[in-house]
Amino acid sequence: MRDVAHLAGVSTATVSRVLNNHQHISEDTRSKVISAIEQLDYQLNRVARRLRMERTQILGLIISDIANPFFTSVVRGIEDVAYENEYSLLLCNSDEHPAKEELYIRVLMGEKVAGVIISPTDENSTAAKALIESRIPVVAMDRRLCHLDVDTVIVDNVQGAYDAVAHLIRLGHCRIALIGGPVQITTARERQEGYEKALRNYGLPVDETLVRVGDFKQDSGSCTAGELLALDDPPTAIFAANNLMTLGALNAIHEKGLNIPRDVAIVGFDDMPWAPSLDPPLTTISQPTYDMGRTTADLLLKKIADNNRENVEIKLHPTLIVRRSCGLRVGKEVQTVVVQR
Amino acid sequence: MRDVAHLAGVSTATVSRVLNNHQHISEDTRSKVISAIEQLDYQLNRVARRLRMERTQILGLIISDIANPFFTSVVRGIEDVAYENEYSLLLCNSDEHPAKEELYIRVLMGEKVAGVIISPTDENSTAAKALIESRIPVVAMDRRLCHLDVDTVIVDNVQGAYDAVAHLIRLGHCRIALIGGPVQITTARERQEGYEKALRNYGLPVDETLVRVGDFKQDSGSCTAGELLALDDPPTAIFAANNLMTLGALNAIHEKGLNIPRDVAIVGFDDMPWAPSLDPPLTTISQPTYDMGRTTADLLLKKIADNNRENVEIKLHPTLIVRRSCGLRVGKEVQTVVVQR
DNA sequence: ATGAAAGCGCTAACAG
DNA sequence: CTGTTAGCGCTTTCAT
């Protein structure tokens, strides 16, 4: 910057003013500075700027599983908004480990990011509490941070799960299993709530032997599905509470040589681009993932613009997409219902 | 930090030394400093440290499509290595746009990251050239940066494509279409090379009407597959040069009500966790994605440790995974070959 | 409209 | 073993 100032015959202060588009700069010096910048191919040192300004163009992002297409789709939405507003993303993958999450929160605070988006591993995360209390703008995404006053963007999980299970019931299923998620994740609890609500609403009992807890990863889907299918009186349908576990369950069912939906029906939570090409085309609860990312980033940017803004909760709506993994159960017979691919 | 020094009754320099694990610090003062840090819940300002040290614990990462599971799996490998070595990741999504890539390269340079991993949108990227010339450690991943001396981690694309097409030929196919990728991406060209090499090796002609160019995204897979299938003399098999286009092709084939492999066979490049659950289970060329990420990050770290290290190219090996999407063609008849799910 | 100078929080050279 | 001090590159008063 000194060199630029020198070449343009001005002070570094003036160069800085040009760089930051201040008013009260004569057109003449402005163009001199700009040409000097180009001549020297000068690159602003953003680290120094940050130290001075205490304000960055960087957003921190702590997600719980980068390998999960749900999150990458959300990230894509966030990234697009960030790009449009000239922000960059510092991406952290907590991998569902509270310890990793805590470390990353400390890193982000130390990096003085402008704000952070987090899908917490645990609703009671103490690190998240510290983060919020430090007055850095935060928005919780996909999962709630209970007992904390914080902007939140989620999906109506109760409704989604309800719709999935109600769909199964209307098709004639009455032994419906749940492959749920970790209890410390609000999303998992809410989906279980929707599952139970649907059963109750239709006068069906909640059978504890049909309720399994996975960890939202693929393997746990295979394992729990395997257990369920090995039961003396196995379920006729499975509701899997996230995309990866659905995939695991699907694999397990196929490996047993069972037919979907004849032997067992399945509904997944969260649609994926390949759901229509699965065997059979998978009925799912679709979440507006990309929109969720955009909405979250928009909200964070608003909070950054005005840190005294009141916190809000934005609830997005999932929709049931009927394909062919459920069938129609009439007595002991199962018919395939073709609705859409 | 001043407060910590004050509370511990030492100078800031001493605090800094404790923080950086210098030798020649008495146990006594060390513990005093540490307790002061804890008491005040002091967080190091990493921005100031960076400005001073000109060295970060941040790695820049420019990938071309965050929504592509191939890249997220690679990112996971990178992230794991980064975490183990106390680095964080600044993630940028170029979305295959050279302009976005260039902007991000400038941002990363301005952020003074310790090194960058890039899957370039174009082998002749001028921004990448500038980056490398600035002496920041760089490693090119998945795609080559031609004419540039740079560490590179790739997969043997020629071999992979060759294996895919040879597999099809051995199964009796002789009209094999290619859904290729953008020519400015080396990966795409190499896969086309493997395709042609296999045809030539088996004495088959390269029919230009069967060679289509997509953009590595799902839609282009559907479109080109649709065109191919609408031909007067359609191909009996399709080799799709990446995962997303394979998915698109699959959807197009299903929508036409065609059966795989009876009406048309298909092999994809890059395996995915749901490939076994597709209809039919998909035969693919599997790439060691996670390893690729780890290898890339390891290489970058080595380069950061010694910037004068000679550049290397690491070539990883893809493997053919035979499932059920190809069948066995005998004259006009196609038999289903069941090898593994 | 522009320049001089202070200072963001840290580390490292030097001194003691 | 520890303190003093300079300075990383930028932005921003305060002058002029």
Judging contacts by C-beta atoms under 8 Å, the chain B residues touching residue A72 are 66-67, 69, 72
Query: Distance, in angstroms, between A48 CA and closest chain B CA?
Result: 6
Name the residue among A90, A274, A281 with its Cβ closest to that of B90: A90
Question: Count of domains in chain A?
Answer: 3
* Residue bearing tokens 């090898």: B339
For B84, the closest chain A residue by CA position comes to: A100
In-domain check, residue B49 = no
Q: Which residues have C-beta within 8 Å of that of residue B284, sequence separation ≥ 6?
A: B243, B246, B267, B268, B269, B270, B271, B272, B275, B320, B321, B323
Largest CA distance in chain A: 89
For B43, the closest chain A residue by CA position comes to: A110
Q: Which residue is nearest to nucleotide C9 (CA to C1')?
A: B48
User: With bands split at pLDDT 50, 70 and 90, how would you rate the model's confidence at B331?
Assistant: low
A 10 A CB-CB count for B120 gives 27
And the tokens for A317?
């709506």
Looking at the structure, do residues B181 and B276 belong to the same domain, yes or no? Answer: yes
On whether the CB atoms of residues B88 and B57 are closer than 8 A, the answer is yes
**Residue B126, H or E segment:** helix B126-133
Looking at the structure, do residues B310 and B269 belong to the same domain, yes or no? Answer: no
Q: What is the pLDDT of residue B54?
A: 81
Determine if strand C comes within 7 Å of the CB of B39.
no
- Kindly provide the residue ranges of all beta strands, DSSP E only, lying in chain B, ordered along the sequence: 58-63, 88-93, 115-118, 138-141, 151-155, 176-180, 211-213, 237-240, 265-269, 283-286, 313-316, 319-321, 328-330, 333-335
In-domain check, residue A326 = no
Question: Which amino acid makes up residue B303?
Answer: K
Kindly tell me the number of DSSP H helices and DSSP E strands found in chain B.
12, 14
Looking at the structure, do residues B249 and B143 belong to the same domain, yes or no? Answer: no
Q: What is the pLDDT of residue A340?
A: 44
On whether the CB atoms of residues B293 and B77 are closer than 8 A, the answer is yes
* Beta-carbon separation of B110 and A45 below 8 A: yes
Judging contacts by C-beta atoms under 8 Å, the chain B residues touching residue A247 are 273-274, 277
Looking at the structure, do residues B218 and B298 belong to the same domain, yes or no? Answer: no
d(CA B14, CA B274): 55
Tens digit of each residue's pLDDT, chain A (341 residues): 888 999 999 999 999 999 988 888 899 999 999 999 999 989 899 999 999 988 789 999 999 999 999 999 999 999 999 999 999 998 899 999 999 999 999 989 988 899 999 999 999 999 999 999 988 999 999 999 999 999 999 999 999 999 999 999 999 999 999 999 999 999 999 999 999 999 999 999 999 999 999 999 999 999 999 999 999 999 999 999 999 999 999 999 999 999 999 999 999 999 999 999 999 999 999 999 999 999 999 999 999 999 999 999 999 999 999 999 998 766 566 665 544 44
Q: Cis ω on the peptide bond leading into residue B273 (within 30° of 0)?
A: no
Name the residue among B75, B93, B247 with its Cβ closest to that of A79: B93
CA of B57 to C1' of D5 (A): 27
User: Between the CA of residue B5 and those of B11, B34, B99, what are the distances in Å?
Assistant: 5, 10, 47
A 10 A CB-CB count for B110 gives 17
* Residue bearing tokens 């090499």: B197
On whether the CB atoms of residues A79 and B66 are closer than 8 A, the answer is yes
On whether the CB atoms of residues B22 and B40 are closer than 8 A, the answer is no
Q: Is the Cα dihedral B240, B242, B243, B249 positive or negative?
A: negative
Q: Which residues have C-beta within 8 Å of that of residue B241, sequence separation ≥ 6?
A: B161, B178, B179, B180, B181, B188, B191, B192, B195, B214, B216, B269
On whether the CB atoms of residues B159 and B198 are closer than 8 A, the answer is no
CATH at A26 = 1.10.260.40
**β-pairing verdict for B88-93 and A88-93:** antiparallel
Q: What is the pLDDT of residue B337?
A: 53
Determine if strand C comes within 7 Å of the CB of A25.
yes
**What range defines the domain where residue A31 resides?**
2-44
Looking at the structure, do residues B172 and B252 belong to the same domain, yes or no? Answer: yes
pLDDT digits (tens, 9 = 90+) for B51-87: 998 878 999 999 999 999 999 999 999 999 999 999 9
**Residue B16, H or E segment:** helix B12-19
* Beta-carbon separation of B254 and A43 below 8 A: no
Looking at the predicted structure, is the pLDDT value of residue B340 above 50? Answer: no
Looking at the structure, do residues B134 and B231 belong to the same domain, yes or no? Answer: no
Name the residue among B69, B89, B279 with its Cβ closest to that of A91: B89
Return the HEC string of chain A.
CHHHHHHHCCCHHHHHHHHCCCCCCCHHHHHHHHHHHHHHCCCCCHHHHHHHHCCCCEEEEEECCCCCHHHHHHHHHHHHHHHHCCCEEEEEECCCCHHHHHHHHHHHHHCCCCEEEECCCCCCCHHHHHHHHCCCCEEEECCCCCCCCCEEEEECHHHHHHHHHHHHHHCCCCCEEEEECCCCCHHHHHHHHHHHHHHHHCCCCCCHHHEEECCCCHHHHHHHHHHHHCCCCCCCEEEECCHHHHHHHHHHHHHCCCCCCCCCEEEEECCCCCHHHECCCCEEEECCHHHHHHHHHHHHHHHHHCCCCCCCEEEECCEEECCCCCCEEECCEEECCCCCC
And the tokens for A60?
């921190």
Write down which residues 31-60 in A have CB closer than 7 A to strand C. Answer: 48, 51-52, 54
d(CA A68, CA A244): 7
* Beta-carbon separation of B88 and A90 below 8 A: yes
Angle at B25 between CA B24 and CA B28, to 5 degrees: 145
* Beta-carbon separation of A92 and B89 below 8 A: yes
**B327 — alpha (psi -120 to 50), left (phi > 0) or beta?**
left
Looking at the structure, do residues A109 and A186 belong to the same domain, yes or no? Answer: no
Q: Which residues pair with A179 in a beta bridge?
A: A212, A240
CATH at A90 = 3.40.50.2300
Query: Distance, in angstroms, between B165 CA and closest chain A CA?
Result: 23
* Beta-carbon separation of B112 and A58 below 8 A: no
CA of A12 to C1' of C6 (A): 14
d(CA B113, CA B116): 7
Mean pLDDT over the full length of chain B:
93
Query: Distance, in angstroms, between A231 CA and closest chain B CA?
Result: 23
Query: Distance, in angstroms, between A183 CA and closest chain B CA?
Result: 25
**B338 — alpha (psi -120 to 50), left (phi > 0) or beta?**
beta
Q: Which residue is nearest to nucleotide C5 (CA to C1')?
A: A13
Nearest to B140 by CA among B123, B167, B172, B118: B118
User: With bands split at pLDDT 50, 70 and 90, how would you rate the model's confidence at B336?
Assistant: low
**Distance from the first to the final alpha carbon of chain B:** 60
* Beta-carbon separation of B45 and A69 below 8 A: no
Name the residue among B83, B255, B279 with its Cβ closest to that of A100: B83
Say which residue, A339 or B168, is predicted with more confidence. Answer: B168
Judging contacts by C-beta atoms under 8 Å, the chain A residues touching residue B341 are 254-255
On whether the CB atoms of residues B226 and B252 are closer than 8 A, the answer is yes
CA of B38 to C1' of D2 (A): 22
* Beta-carbon separation of A76 and B66 below 8 A: yes
In-domain check, residue B338 = no
Looking at the predicted structure, is the pLDDT value of residue B266 above 70? Answer: yes
Determine if strand C comes within 7 Å of the CB of A14.
yes
Looking at the structure, do residues B212 and B174 belong to the same domain, yes or no? Answer: yes
CA of B53 to C1' of D5 (A): 17
In-domain check, residue A322 = no
CA of A186 to C1' of D3 (A): 52
Query: Distance, in angstroms, between A209 CA and closest chain B CA?
Result: 27
Looking at the structure, do residues B171 and B106 belong to the same domain, yes or no? Answer: no
* Beta-carbon separation of A72 and B72 below 8 A: yes
Looking at the structure, do residues A172 and A278 belong to the same domain, yes or no? Answer: yes
In-domain check, residue B332 = no
Q: What is the pLDDT of residue A334?
A: 62
In-domain check, residue A21 = yes
Q: Which residues pair with B313 in a beta bridge?
A: B152
* CA torsion angle B191 B196 B200 B203 (round to 10): 110
Q: What is the pLDDT of residue A10?
A: 92
In-domain check, residue A130 = yes
d(CA A136, CA A132): 6
User: Which nucleotides of chain C are near protein (any atom < 7 Å from a CB)?
Assistant: 1-5, 7-13
Query: Distance, in angstroms, between A205 CA and closest chain B CA?
Result: 32
Q: What percent of chain B has pLDDT over 90?
A: 81
Question: Which amino acid makes up residue B13?
Answer: A
Looking at the structure, do residues B226 and B81 belong to the same domain, yes or no? Answer: no
User: With bands split at pLDDT 50, 70 and 90, how would you rate the model's confidence at B138?
Assistant: very high
Name the residue among B50, B58, B274 with its Cβ closest to that of A247: B274
CA of A13 to C1' of D15 (A): 14
* Beta-carbon separation of A79 and B66 below 8 A: yes
In-domain check, residue B325 = no
Looking at the structure, do residues A25 and A122 belong to the same domain, yes or no? Answer: no
Name the residue among B76, B106, B110 with its Cβ closest to that of A67: B76
